[in-house]
Amino acid sequence: MNEIRPIQWDDGILKLIDQTRLPAEQVIVEINDYRGAVAAIRDMQVRGAPAIGVTAAYAVVMAATELDVEDRQTFMSELREAGSEINAARPTAVNLQWAVRRMLEVAEGQQEFAGVKQALLAEARLVQEEDEEINRRMGSNGQDLMPDGGAVLTHCNTGALATSAFGTALGVIRAGWESGRRFKVFNTETRPFLQGARLTSWEFQQLGIPATLIVDSAAGIMMQRGQITCVITGADRIAANGDTANKIGTYSLAVLARENGIPFYVAAPTSTVDLSLASGDEIEIEERSGLEVTHFQGTPTAPVGVEAVNPAFDVTPQKYISAIITESAVARPPYLESLKLAVESA
């Protein structure tokens, strides 16, 4: 398999595969300050909850490096301000806040002030290494849910590009394929940013896994015709009760899967589980520019002046989710119990 590693740290430079340029061009963007990392997250040069978390960790490292103060109290105050700015890049993916919080805790807990910056870099590297390990364990835990025969449908992009390596939902598909199971794979185009068409299709090609692209609205008829055996997606935030925020269109797929008697699975690390939220009603949904709907790569696709709304995510109620695959366990209903146990076991 061709391993894809979209995030690399090279002597103070954060190197990212620019996901806005794929599949036409494979371009590496080099970032040397934390505001550049914030812009890369906001502008979706890097995307996917785990990848955003890893990038945020390195952004804190760069913020600390940029601070030229010798007083610990002033340093921590300014680092927390930078952390708040990093947190604000995108609101829905909990991994962003999780990574920034983890990094700030390392800085605050460092006994020797002179070693804070080195400790932060070591922690960011650990976040990245752990992410790949977590994804591989998730794949191992979920591979037996993949059919031997039949077909799997996935949405948006949940592969290596959305993480530091291997992937979440796409990683489970990969693990199932590598275990010897053979099934068809379908992936949606994922309007309006076309993460499925541009990124997931590209990743499946790199991995040598045959996959067929469909328009988002074709999922219903394919399920109705018996052409889909199960659906698996990722997640950007999971509430304590199992309600799951993911790329817009996920809720529709879950409802269609239930109507057609098809299992609907979610694959996400335990860092995506937010036990502080009782339900999905408390998850903030990012609203992006309507230009992403009315234009594609700068070219108008709708009449000039037309209004468009562009929620980036929706929330799938837990009643539609057959299982949530994490690195520690496959959680099943009731999720209030199983998710808490999965988080505690991670």
Sheet holding 313-316, edge to edge: 273-274, 237-239, 244-247, 313-316
Q: Cβ-count burial of 345 within 10 angstroms (0-12 exposed, 13-18 middle, 19+ buried)?
A: exposed
CB 274 within 8 A of CB 94: yes
Residue 180 CB coordination number (10 Å): 8
Placement of tokens 């709304």 in the chain = 309
Given the residues 236, 243, 274, 314, the one annotated as active site = 236
> Alpha-carbon distance 76 to 67, whole Å?
10
Distance between CA 97 and CA 88 in Å, rounded?
9
Q: Report which secondary-structure segment, H or E, holds 152.
A: strand 151-154
50: closest CA among 3, 12, 7? 7
Phi-psi region at 150: left, alpha or beta (left = phi > 0; alpha = psi -120 to 50): left
Q: Residue 45 to residues 61, 68, 183, 285: CA-CA distances in angstroms?
A: 19, 29, 31, 20
DSSP-assigned beta bridge partners for residue 274 = 239
Q: Please tell me the distance from the alpha carbon of residue 213 to that of residue 48, in angstroms, as a whole number.
A: 20
* Amino acid making up residue 8: Q
User: 295: which strand partners?
Assistant: 300
Q: Give the residue among 307, 308, 309, 313 at the shortest CA–CA distance from 286.
A: 313
Is residue 144 part of the annotated active site? The answer reads no
**Beta-bridge partner residues of 317:** none
Residue 15's beta-bridge partner residues? 8, 30
Give the active site residues. Answer: 236
